Amino acid sequence: MRLFKIKLNRIHEEREGPTAYEIAKRLNLNENTVRTYLSGEVTRRMLPVYIKDLADFFGVDWRDSNIVEIIEVADDEAGQEETLLASA
């Protein structure tokens, strides 16, 4: 199983970005969802599509391991191809 560590909080802190409310409003996302990703590192089994939107908002590439890091790959999934972004 792949686990993804999402580290958008670092970019937000470094750039002293807008509030979660402002970002959510601009991207048409739920404020609590945005707040979750801005408050600390988040680990998920799948990446929601809006991670790309958040990364684009901050001007970073979501595929950069400093933004989204694959932290675990189980042997039973070796050889399977999966998309990193979950569909909406």
Place of tokens 């601009």: 26
In a domain, 87, yes or no: no
- Return the DSSP state at 59: T
In a domain, 10, yes or no: yes
Q: What is the largest CA-CA distance in the chain?
A: 42
In a domain, 86, yes or no: no
pLDDT tens sequence across 2-14 = 899 999 998 898 8
Asked if 58 and 8 count as a contact pair (C-beta separation under 8 A), the reply is yes
* pTM of the entire predicted model: 0.76
H or E stretch including 6?
Answer: strand 3-6
CATH number, residue 43? 1.10.260
In a domain, 63, yes or no: yes
Q: Which domain holds residue 49?
A: 3-77
In a domain, 47, yes or no: yes
pLDDT category of residue 81 using cuts at 50, 70 and 90: very low
In a domain, 83, yes or no: no
Asked if 19 and 57 count as a contact pair (C-beta separation under 8 A), the reply is no
